[in-house]
Every structure is written in structure tokens, then in C-alpha cells.
Amino acid sequence: MPVNLRLVIKTPKNHQYQVSCSVDGQTALNSVERMMPDVILLNVRISNMSGCQVCESLTLNPVVCHIPVLFLSAIDTAEDKVRAFELGGVDYITKPFYTKELIKRVEHQIQLAHFQH
């Protein structure tokens, strides 16, 4: 939804992060390798393919498989969360999310990636 998208884009920008947005799964996959982001925030429900399909494609791509994927979703079932982790997601944040929590989770994943490299 456009309102949710604006909120997710605005929140990291307000904390000095550069943000890029894709409106559908295929566009996201096409841009990730070119942009090489530090973290990917991925909604479970997106157009033209599911967030799970996007995550699975990212995980199978050796060029970008190291980039942490954090799922954002209004879906709050244990099965969906487990599926997201099985596909390579590193975190699962339910909507509505608390802005400070989202930023802390992003920062945590950036720090972990930094230490791993």
C-alpha cells in the first residue's frame, strides 16, 4: 500500500540511511545486484511475485546472497515466520511496526554484516 511504502521509506531516511524502493518483486531483483544494499526490507505481499519468492531468488544468487533480508508483514502466523526464515530471511517484523524498533533491527543487521566481513 502506498501509505505503508512511504512510511518505510521515510523512516530510514530520517535516520541518515539512503533508501531505494521497488514497487514489485521483479524490479527489486533487477536492482539489488546493481545497487548492492547493506540490508533489504521485503514485504511478504508485493506485486507480481511474493516476498518469499524474491527472498528465495536472492538467497540463490551468489552475488547478493550475503545481504540480510528483513521481512515486513501484517501476516503474523508462526508458519509464515518460519517459512521466511527457511528461505533466508534474517528477521521478521510485523506491521504495524514501531519505528524505533525497525531502525534498531536494521542497525543490528548492518553491524552483524560488518563483523562477518
Does the 2-106 domain belong in CATH 3.40.50.2300? yes
- Write out the chain's pLDDT in tens, 117 residues: 555 555 565 655 555 777 888 888 899 999 999 999 999 999 888 878 889 999 999 999 999 999 999 998 888 899 999 999 999 999 999 988 888 888 899 999 999 988 887
First-to-last alpha carbon distance for the chain, in angstroms, is 35
- What residue ranges do the domains of the chain occupy? 2-106
pTM of this structure: 0.85
Do residues 44 and 84 lie in contact, with contact meaning Cβ atoms separated by under 8 Å? yes
Task: Give residue 82's pLDDT.
Answer: 95
Q: What value does the CA radius of gyration of the chain take, rounded to a whole number of Å? A: 13
Cell 526464515 sits on residue: 85
